[in-house]
């Protein structure tokens, strides 16, 4: 059964609110829906607190992120490694990056922590001397939904306004760690790299599940008449991806190596819209798969998994320019030499990295395009068939696969 309570909430909250806080009441409710967010259990956590000195009371509307209840999911997401990485990122990495921005007098509204939900506390265990993820591992965040943030429909993808906002945030998110790497390499080694250590991937799944993910690409491609001319190229991507897992990619070309999200798609960022439906803000979530990769890995993965394909095709060059311009503006805050990050060098890096990211893109279209309502088991009742059943994919997967392959082909990356 999924855990529905967070132990020692008051102790967690002291990390952000200080020792003066006392928890009076707490209430939780499970947020994780069947077929969504397999990598964690999410709880709505409402807490009534009091300040011991002043006696002032208040309410906090939070979200608690816990490890999956199901052992198979813990294995699939390499929870002993990935949950620890996310806790480290919020407790050490992000504060170090903000400190660098403060040192260089970057305006507060541009701090990298503004791109993320506020973290009120994080731990791998209630035992402070223990560095092993256990049942009490948890991260506590502000409840973004109560601020009007939503998760976009994964079967739809992002429109033009959302894509522009997200790309600018992604560029800032990538550029600040690069600044730390160049200015304070030892701090980067101690405060960023531990959050990006290697974790295992699909190879840990039962063979029948991993094979289903793998085979979904060619099975879908063969059904689409528009993709018949490209079946040989797609098969080569599939074969190379199986032989050389993207999670084991080699060290990035410098100076482009940074703190990559490594799983940056629709469900791992939340957007806020104005009354006209235009996206005005964005929050990057789920840092558990962080890796030290080229920034172009995240960029390619996001564009081809998460943007409406007609929008992507029409504005592709503009999107690249917007990302690169924001990237340079962010680096300029630190008075770095921008010549190594020129537009020409950026395009060279993009064209070298993009083909290595295509298998990651295509294989992730399976969970992204799983038909809604097909998975009814809760996360703690997860069965292998919830990922391997043939009926999980339908017209949405075929359409997205077709459009994505054709978009990739236009770039010359097939």
Listing DSSP states for 282-310 in one string gives EEE---TT-EEEEHHHHHHHHHHHHB-HH
The mean-pLDDT minimum among 39-53, 257-271, 281-295 falls in: 39-53
Q: What is the DSSP letter of 124?
A: S
Number of domains observed in the structure of the chain: 1
3 confidence band (pLDDT: 50, 70, 90): low
Q: Does 322 score more than 70 pLDDT?
A: yes
Which residue matches tokens 């160049």?
182
pLDDT for residue 1? 45
- For the stretch 35-87, pLDDT in tens is 566 678 899 999 999 998 899 999 999 999 999 888 888 888 899 999 999 99
Contact 401, 238 (CB under 8 A): no
Q: Within a domain: residue 402?
A: yes
Pick the closest to residue 291 from 197, 385, 389 (CA basis): 197
* pLDDT on residue 246: 85
Length of the chain: 414
Instruction: Give the long-range contacts of residues 385-388, CB within 8 A, separation 24 or more.
Output: 386/35, 387/205, 387/209, 387/212, 387/213, 388/208, 388/209, 388/212
- Dump pLDDT digits (tens) for 90-145: 999 999 999 999 999 999 999 999 999 999 999 999 987 888 999 999 999 999 99
Alpha-carbon 371 to chain mean position: 21
Q: Please list, in sequence order, all residues whose beta carbon lies within 8 angstroms of the beta carbon of residue 397, skipping any fewer than 6 positions away.
A: 216, 220, 365, 366, 369, 370
The per-residue pLDDT of the chain, averaged, comes to 92
Residue-range definition of the domain harbouring residue 55: 9-411
Helix axes 309-332, 395-410, angle to 10 degrees: 60
Share of the chain above pLDDT 90, in %: 76
What is the structure's pLDDT at 386?
Answer: 62
Task: Find the radius of gyration of the CA atoms of the chain.
Answer: 21
- CA pair distance 115, 166, nearest whole angstrom: 10
Q: Would you say residue 1 lies in a domain?
A: no
Q: Kindly state whether residue 4 falls inside one of the protein's structural domains.
A: no
- pLDDT value of residue 207: 74
Closest alpha carbon to 298 in 173, 137, 129? 173
How far does Cα 159 stand from its chain's mean position?
A: 19
Selection from 297, 269, 259, 12 nearest residue 149 by Cα: 269
Q: How many angstroms separate the CA atoms of 250 and 77, rounded?
A: 21
Token pair in block for residue 205: 């799944």
pLDDT in tens, 205-249: 777 777 888 889 999 999 999 999 999 999 999 999 988 888 888
CB-CB neighbours of 107 under 10 Å: 8
Look at residue 375 in the predicted model and tell me its pLDDT: 65
Q: What torsion do the CA atoms of 259, 196, 210, 401 make, to the nearest 10 degrees?
A: 0
- Residue 156, domain member (yes or no): yes
Tell me if 351 is assigned to some domain: yes
pLDDT per residue as tens digits for the range 176-201: 999 999 999 999 999 999 999 999 87
Report the alpha-carbon distance of residue 108 to residue 112 in Å, rounded: 9
User: What angle, 0 to 180 degrees and rounded to 10, lies between the N-to-C axes of helices 207-222 and 343-368?
Assistant: 110
């Amino acid at each position: 059964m999924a855990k529905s309570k967070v132990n020692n909430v008051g102790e967690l909250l002291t990390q952000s609110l200080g020792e003066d806080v006392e928890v009076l009441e707490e209430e939780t409710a499970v947020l994780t829906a069947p077929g969504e967010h397999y990598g964690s259990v999410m709880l709505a956590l409402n807490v009534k607190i009091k300040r011991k000195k002043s006696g002032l009371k208040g309410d906090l509307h939070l979200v608690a992120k816990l490890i999956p209840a199901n052992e198979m999911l813990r294995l699939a997401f390499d929870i002993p490694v990935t949950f620890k990485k996310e806790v480290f990122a919020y407790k050490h990495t992000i504060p170090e990056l903000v400190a660098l921005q403060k040192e260089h007098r970057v305006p507060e509204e541009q701090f990298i922590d503004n791109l993320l939900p506020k973290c009120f506390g994080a731990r791998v265990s209630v035992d402070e001397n223990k560095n092993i993820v256990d049942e009490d591992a948890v991260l506590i965040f502000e409840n973004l939904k109560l601020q009007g943030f939503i998760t976009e429909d994964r079967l739809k993808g992002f429109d033009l306004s959302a894509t522009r906002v997200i790309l600018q945030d992604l560029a800032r998110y990538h550029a600040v760690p690069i600044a730390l790497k160049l200015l304070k390499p030892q701090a980067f080694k101690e405060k960023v790299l531990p959050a990006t250590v290697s974790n295992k991937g699909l190879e840990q799944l039962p063979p029948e599940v991993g094979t289903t993910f793998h085979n979904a690409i060619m099975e879908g491609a063969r059904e689409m008449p528009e993709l018949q001319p490209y079946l040989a190229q797609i098969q080569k991507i599939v074969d190379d991806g199986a032989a050389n897992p993207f999670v084991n990619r080699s060290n990035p070309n410098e100076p482009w190596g940074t703190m990559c999200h490594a799983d940056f798609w629709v469900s791992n960022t939340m957007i806020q819209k104005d009354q006209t439906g235009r996206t005005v803000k964005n929050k990057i979530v789920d840092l558990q798969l962080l890796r030290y990769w080229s920034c172009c890995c995240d960029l390619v993965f996001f564009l081809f998994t998460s943007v409406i394909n007609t929008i992507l095709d029409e504005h592709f060059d503009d999107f690249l320019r917007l990302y690169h311009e924001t990237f340079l503006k962010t680096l300029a805050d630190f008075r770095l030499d921008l010549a190594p990050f020129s537009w020409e060098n950026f395009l060279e890096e993009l064209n070298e990295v993009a083909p290595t990211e295509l298998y990651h893109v295509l294989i992730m279209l399976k969970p992204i395009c799983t038909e809604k309502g097909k998975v009814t088991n809760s996360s703690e009742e997860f069965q292998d068939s919830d990922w391997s059943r043939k009926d999980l994919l339908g017209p949405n997967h075929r359409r997205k696969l077709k459009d994505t392959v054709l978009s990739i082909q236009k770039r010359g990356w097939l």
